[in-house]
Amino acid sequence: MNIIYSITNRTSSLIRGMIFFVLGILLLFWPDQMLNFIVKILAAVLIVISIVSLVLMYKGDRKVVGEAPSPLSYFAFAAMIVCLVFGVLVFAFPDFFTGIIVFLFGLLLILLGVAQITNMAVSSRYMKLPVWLYIFPVVIAACGIICFFKPFEARSAITVFFGAVVTLYGAVEIASSWMLRKIRFGEDGKYVEIKSEIGK
């Protein structure tokens, strides 16, 4: 019988935790450089998406012969132009837009904390989990709320703060993937605990 994980794949959870842990360490030790780097990456992605969308819309309009473009097409084209210009401005002046990242950081922490709390709540139906696994996601969500509504004045301080929380989240994710290693389900959907595989 093939065994699968019901809530999350342990390998993907472990990899996700390691990625967040490394990202948090980078934000802790190189806050200003990493913040500008993240802003430029987001701007580059926005530029690429806008250019690709414009090219696809242009090719699509050329295939339609004898029909005038709809008002919606003009609106979509204008929206992509605005996104392209915005992406170029963000990429050219990252320092000006890094203040917005503070609020995005807070929102991300809130989402991560709530998602992990939900995961713990569902997992607790199948096995008893230690109390500290519940504490850390609550702390992460609370930090996100503080960062979202009460941002610090210094960007570097916010980045270091976010890096510390992200490092904590990565560590908790790694620990959670190990603690939840016994939660497995067979193809019939019933809970199966295979002790013989643990420790191999």
Over residues 34-48, the mean pLDDT reads 86
The 10 Å Cβ neighbour count of residue 13 is 20
pLDDT at 12 over 80: no
Using pLDDT thresholds of 50, 70 and 90, give the confidence band for residue 105.
Answer: confident
Tokens found for residue 118: 């939900």
**What pLDDT does residue 178 have?**
75
Q: Which amino acid is at 129?
A: L
Whose tokens are 């709530």? That residue is 114
Domain boundaries, the chain: 10-195
pLDDT digits (tens, 9 = 90+) for 138-197: 888 888 887 777 766 557 777 788 788 888 888 888 887 777 665 554 444 444 454 444
pLDDT at 9 over 60: no
**What pLDDT does residue 140 have?**
84
Of 74 and 49, which is predicted with more confidence? 49
User: What span, in angstroms and rounded, lies between the C-alpha atoms of 17 and 1?
Assistant: 29
Residue 177 neighbours by CB under 8 Å, 6+ apart? 8, 10, 13, 14, 17
Determine how β-strand 191-192 pairs with β-strand 184-185. antiparallel
**What pLDDT does residue 63 have?**
55
pLDDT digits (tens, 9 = 90+) for 57-98: 777 655 554 555 566 667 777 888 888 898 899 888 887 777
11, 16, 36: which is closest to 166 by C-alpha? Answer: 16
Burial bucket for residue 195 (CB in 10 Å: 0-12, 13-18, 19+): exposed
